[in-house]
Amino acid sequence: MCGIVGLACLPGRIVNPARAVRKSLEKLEYRGYDSVGIAVIFNGKIIIKKGRGKIHEVHSKFNFDGTPGNTVIGHTRWATHGAPSDANAHPHSDCLGTIAIVHNGIIKNFDELKKALIKKGHVFHSDTDTEVVSHLVEDFIRKGLKPYEAFKEAIKKVKGSYAIALITAYEPDKIFFAKKDSPLIIGLGDGFNFLASDIPAFLEYTRRIIVLRDNEIGYITPTNVVIENIVTEEKVNVQSRVRIVNWTPEMAAKAGYPHFMLKEIHEQPRALNETLLGLGPEINRAAELILKADRVFIAAAGTSYHAGLVFEYYLAKLPGIMSHAFISSEYSKYSKIADSNDLLVAISQSGETIDTLMALRLFKENGAKVISISNVIDSAIPRESDLTVYTRAGPEIGVAATKTFTTQVLVELVLALKIAELEGTLLPSEYNEKLSTLTKIPKVVEEVILKNEALALQLANTLSYKNNIYYLGRGLGVPIAKEGALKLKEIAYIHAEAYPAGESKHGPIALVEKDFPVLFVVLDDENKESIVGNIMEMKARNAYTIGLLTYGNDEIAEKLDFTFTLPRQEYFISPITYTPILQLIAYYTAVKRGYDPDKPRNLAKTVTVE
Q: Which residues bind ligand M6R (CB under 6 A)?
A: 301-304, 348-350, 353, 356, 399-401, 486, 490, 603, 606-607
**206 vs 608, beta carbon nearer ligand M6R:** 608
Provide, rounded to whole angstroms, the least separation between the CB of residue 514 and ligand M6R. 31
Closest by CA position to 340, among listed 318, 368, 310, 319: 368
Q: Whole-angstrom Cα distance, residue 241 to residue 248?
A: 20
Burial class (CB in 10 A: 0-12, 13-18, 19+), 284: middle
Q: Is 95 in the active site?
A: no
3-state percent helix, strand, coil for the chain, nearest multiple of 5: 40, 25, 35
Q: Is 9 in the active site?
A: no
In the sheet where 468-473 sits, what is the strand order? 495-500, 468-473, 517-521, 544-550, 562-566
Instruction: List Cα–Cα distances, 338 to 314, 344, 354, 360, 361, in angstroms.
Output: 22, 9, 19, 11, 11
Element (H, E) at 430: helix 428-438
**225 vs 486, beta carbon nearer ligand M6R:** 486
In the sheet where 208-211 sits, what is the strand order? 45-52, 35-42, 71-77, 3-9, 192-196, 185-188, 208-211, 243-244
**193 vs 583, beta carbon nearer ligand M6R:** 583
Q: Whole-angstrom Cα distance, residue 307 to residue 257?
A: 26
Return phi, psi of residue 74, to 5°.
Answer: -150, 165
**300 vs 419, beta carbon nearer ligand M6R:** 300
Provide, rounded to whole angstroms, the least separation between the CB of residue 68 and ligand M6R. 37
**486 vs 496, beta carbon nearer ligand M6R:** 486
Q: Pairing relation of β-strands 92-93 and 99-107?
A: antiparallel
* Nearest-CB residue for ligand M6R: 302
Q: Whole-angstrom Cα distance, residue 485 to residue 503?
A: 16
Provide, rounded to whole angstroms, the least separation between the CB of residue 349 and ligand M6R. 4
Provide, rounded to whole angstroms, the least separation between the CB of residue 377 and ligand M6R. 14
Active-site choice (369, 489, 599, 605): 605
- H and E: helices and strands count for the chain: 18, 24
Provide, rounded to whole angstroms, the least separation between the CB of residue 399 and ligand M6R. 5
Look up residue 143 and give its DSSP letter.
Answer: T
Active-site choice (2, 9, 49, 180): 2
Provide, rounded to whole angstroms, the least separation between the CB of residue 383 and ligand M6R. 14
**206 vs 349, beta carbon nearer ligand M6R:** 349
Q: Whole-angstrom Cα distance, residue 78 to residue 219?
A: 25
Provide, rounded to whole angstroms, the least separation between the CB of residue 483 and ligand M6R. 8
Whether omega before 91 lies within 30 degrees of 0, making that bond cis, reads yes
**181 vs 490, beta carbon nearer ligand M6R:** 490
Q: Whole-angstrom Cα distance, residue 141 to residue 294?
A: 55
Q: Catalytic site residues?
A: 2, 605
